[in-house]
């Protein structure tokens, strides 16, 4: 009899709550990873660096499990069908995993749990990806918070009563299923190729985090941690990072709280995937001009800080937060293009793409979200540049033709675009 431990976005052995619990409570723990075709099929770019990243991490797990005389079973397919096959191939006693809060994942897990229940196989899931989930942080009347500041206060309060001590496997071999290493599919077997994008290293740079509040707003500086992709796929433990952040820098910790806030908001509002948090805003009549959208995607709007950001994204799969805010605001307000278009574009490119934060960030910029930027506050791309890239270091890095005639003229005029946005938003909100 085996216990399956199903890895998803928690690709590490250390301080992994679900894995640790299985290891403590069960014998013959058999690790499993599924390359989910439902997800892979949607990725148009076959050089997607995220798939390569996951593949590499699975390879590392495969190698680390040799120390336990064990291995990881790696499958490619639709998860339910894989579980159907696994129940035939193994005598499965129970299944352990860590919880995922995205709508697709919840639906998938529910179906698998039901299928397993029919076979009397319990499905145990654990909180691992966040410090606080679902309804753990609520207001005095027991409802979830819809605004960040009181949520973060309550979150910090609760952190005081919470232990973040890591749970680590102690090297006991007996808990794992004994096997020779299983074969590992190659990237090619998955239908993917290697990518040229480089992945930021998994390292908590203490010096950087200590100075985070001073440097984080300037895109030309190495002022942020670049740990997004590691948080997304769980190659770092959030408990470990929060313990460090708590010691090192409150502003940094605050950003990690934003991450959990958006996950909690999405958990309570799965419809946010394609609707505005403030429903009235779905009455906005977007202009949705495809040609202008294309120019925005390519970084050819004639607004240097916007263009530098988009080119950084297209080249590296990363964009600095300050510039994410500006490019998103520019798309939705200056160009009056639906935030869903921009969100989908970011989702296809960002290595650290995280549904909850991307959706939250876009809805914030478009003015449609929880703590949103009020619609009448419209970033001025010129003054943002003067404030945050006054030496034009970031701009020149990404726009080699900056200042020459080859650089495009602005595709919209700031004042006019601003007026048009104000009018359009106002109309929608007045219900005209
Ligand atoms: P750091 O500044 O070093 O922060 C550390 C970690 O805190 C980040 O890795 C992230 O997990 C979290 N974090 C930081 N800022 C935020 C925030 N505002 N909201 C939620 N979590 C935050 N973040 C994503 O992780 N994935 C996304 O797909 C994403 N899309 C965004 C889209 C828009 C339009 C905007 C305005 C923001 C988006 N963000 C997203 C938030 C933020 O820009 C990134 O988390 C950050 O820039 C990642 O760089 P870093 O790892 O160096 O972050």
Domain of 74, CATH number, reads 3.40.50.620
Q: Mean pLDDT throughout 328-342? A: 98
Known binding residue 259? Answer is: yes
Residues 6+ apart with CB under 8 A from 205: 225
* Same structural domain, 238 and 327: no
253 lines ligand 1 (CB under 6 A): no
* Same structural domain, 154 and 212: yes
The closest-lying atom of ligand 1 relative to the alpha carbon of residue 364 is 36
Q: What would the two tokens of residue 394 be?
A: 């970031």
Q: Mean pLDDT throughout 76-95? A: 98
pLDDT at 307: 98
Is the residue at 181 inside a domain?
no
> What's the gap in Å between 65 CA and the centre of ligand 1?
32
* Same structural domain, 42 and 113: yes
The closest-lying atom of ligand 1 relative to the alpha carbon of residue 320 is 47
Choice from 259, 266, 384 to test ligand 1 binding pocket (greatest atom count within 8 A of CB): 259
Choice from 129, 229, 273, 321 to test ligand 1 binding pocket (greatest atom count within 8 A of CB): 321
pLDDT at 44: 93
* Angle, in degrees to the nearest 10, between helices 148-159 and 250-268: 110
Residues 6+ apart with CB under 8 A from 89: none
> What's the gap in Å between 26 CA and the centre of ligand 1?
37
Q: Longest C-alpha distance within the chain, in Å?
A: 71
148-181 pLDDT per residue, tens: 999 999 999 999 999 999 999 987 777 999 999 9
* Same structural domain, 358 and 306: yes
Domain of 386, CATH number, reads 1.10.579.10
* Same structural domain, 423 and 317: yes
> What's the gap in Å between 321 CA and the centre of ligand 1?
6
Quote the CA–CA distance of 220 and 74 in Å, as a whole number: 41
* Same structural domain, 288 and 425: yes
* Same structural domain, 20 and 149: no
* Same structural domain, 334 and 421: yes
52-68 pLDDT per residue, tens: 999 999 999 999 999 99
Quote the CA–CA distance of 286 and 78 in Å, as a whole number: 36
Mean pLDDT of the chain: 96
Domain of 221, CATH number, reads 1.25.40.80
> What's the gap in Å between 208 CA and the centre of ligand 1?
16
Quote the CA–CA distance of 373 and 34 in Å, as a whole number: 39
231 lines ligand 1 (CB under 6 A): yes
ipTM of the complex: 0.99
* Same structural domain, 95 and 151: no
Q: Check pLDDT > 60 for residue 432.
A: no
* Same structural domain, 283 and 408: yes
Q: Mean pLDDT throughout 192-213? A: 95
Q: Which residue's CA is minimally distant from atom 10 of ligand 1?
A: 228
Is the residue at 177 inside a domain?
no
* Catalytic residue ranges: 255, 258, 286, 321, 339, 362
Known binding residue 258? Answer is: yes
Find which of 162-176, 191-205, 381-395 is predicted with most confidence, using mean pLDDT: 381-395
Confidence label for 290 from pLDDT (cuts 50, 70 and 90): very high
Is the residue at 31 inside a domain?
yes
pLDDT at 88: 98
Residues 6+ apart with CB under 8 A from 52: 187, 192, 194, 195
Is the residue at 228 inside a domain?
yes
> What's the gap in Å between 63 CA and the centre of ligand 1?
31
Residues 6+ apart with CB under 8 A from 38: 78, 79, 104, 108
Which segments of 277-410 does DSSP mark as H helices, in order? 290-298, 304-316, 321-329, 339-349, 355-366, 381-388, 393-398
Q: Mean pLDDT throughout 410-428? A: 96
What percent of the chain has a predicted confidence (pLDDT) above 70? 100
The closest-lying atom of ligand 1 relative to the alpha carbon of residue 328 is 34
Is the residue at 230 inside a domain?
yes
113-138 pLDDT per residue, tens: 999 999 999 999 999 999 999 999 99
Is the residue at 349 inside a domain?
yes
Q: Give backbone dihedrals phi and psi of 30, rounded to 5 degrees, phi first.
A: -110, 110
313-323 pLDDT per residue, tens: 999 999 999 99
Q: Mean pLDDT throughout 197-225? A: 96
Known binding residue 212? Answer is: yes
Q: Mean pLDDT throughout 171-200? A: 93
Which segments of 211-271 does DSSP mark as H helices, in order? 212-215, 228-233, 238-248, 250-268
pLDDT at 345: 98
Domains in the chain: how many in total? 3
Q: Mean pLDDT throughout 396-420? A: 98
Q: Which of 155-169, 201-215, 228-242, 367-381 has the lowest mean pLDDT?
A: 367-381
Q: Which residue's CA is minimally distant from atom 8 of ligand 1?
A: 228
Angle at 36 between CA 237 and CA 265, to 5 degrees: 55
Give the domain-ending residue among 101, 128, 155. 128
* Same structural domain, 283 and 261: no
Give the domain-ending residue among 229, 245, 268. 268
Q: Which domain holds residue 235?
A: 130-165+206-268
Known binding residue 252? Answer is: yes
Q: Mean pLDDT throughout 276-280? A: 93
Quote the CA–CA distance of 62 and 234 in Å, as a whole number: 16
pLDDT at 374: 82
Q: Check pLDDT > 90 for residue 228.
A: yes
Is the residue at 187 inside a domain?
no
């Amino acid at each position: 009899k085996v216990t399956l431990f199903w890895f998803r976005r928690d690709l590490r052995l250390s301080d992994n709550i679900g894995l640790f619990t299985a290891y403590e409570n069960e014998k013959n723990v058999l690790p499993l990873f599924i390359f989910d075709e439902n997800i892979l099929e949607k990725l148009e770019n076959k050089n997607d660096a995220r798939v390569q990243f996951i593949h590499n991490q699975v390879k590392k797990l495969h190698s680390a499990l040799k120390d336990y005389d064990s291995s990881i079973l790696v499958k490619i397919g639709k998860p339910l069908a894989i579980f159907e096959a696994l129940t035939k191939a193994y005598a499965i006693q129970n299944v352990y995993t860590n919880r995922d809060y995205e709508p697709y994942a919840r639906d998938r897990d529910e179906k698998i749990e039901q299928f397993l229940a029919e076979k009397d196989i319990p499905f145990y899931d654990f909180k691992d990806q966040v410090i606080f989930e679902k309804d753990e942080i609520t207001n005095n009347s027991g409802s979830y918070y819809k605004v960040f500041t009181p949520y973060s206060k309550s979150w910090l309060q609760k952190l005081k009563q919470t232990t973040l001590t890591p749970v680590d496997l102690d090297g006991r071999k007996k808990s794992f299923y004994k096997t020779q290493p299983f074969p590992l599919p190659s990237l090619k077997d998955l239908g993917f190729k290697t990518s040229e994008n480089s992945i930021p290293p998994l390292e908590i740079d203490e010096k950087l985090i200590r100075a985070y509040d001073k440097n984080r707003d300037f895109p030309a500086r190495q002022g942020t941690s670049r740990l997004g992709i590691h948080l997304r796929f769980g190659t770092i433990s959030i408990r470990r990072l929060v313990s460090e952040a708590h010691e090192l820098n409150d502003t940094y910790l605050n950003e990690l709280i934003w991450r959990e806030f958006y996950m909690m908001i999405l958990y309570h509002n799965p419809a946010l995937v394609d609707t505005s948090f403030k429903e009235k805003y779905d009455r906005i009549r977007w202009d949705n001009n495809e040609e202008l959208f294309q120019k925005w995607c390519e970084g050819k709007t004639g607004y240097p800080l916007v263009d530098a950001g988009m080119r950084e994204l297209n080249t590296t799969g990363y964009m600095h937060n300050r510039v994410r805010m500006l490019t998103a605001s520019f798309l939705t307000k200056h160009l009056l293009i639906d935030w869903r278009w921009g969100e989908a574009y970011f989702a296809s490119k960002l290595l650290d793409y995280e549904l909850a934060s991307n959706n939250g960030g876009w809805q914030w910029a478009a003015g449609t979200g929880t703590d949103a930027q009020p619609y009448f506050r419209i970033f001025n791309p010129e003054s943002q540049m003067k404030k945050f890239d006054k030496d034009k270091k970031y701009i020149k890095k990404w726009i080699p033709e900056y200042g020459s005639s080859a650089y495009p003229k602005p595709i919209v005029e700031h004042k006019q675009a601003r007026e048009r946005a104000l009018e359009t938003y106002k109309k929608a909100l007045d219900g005209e």
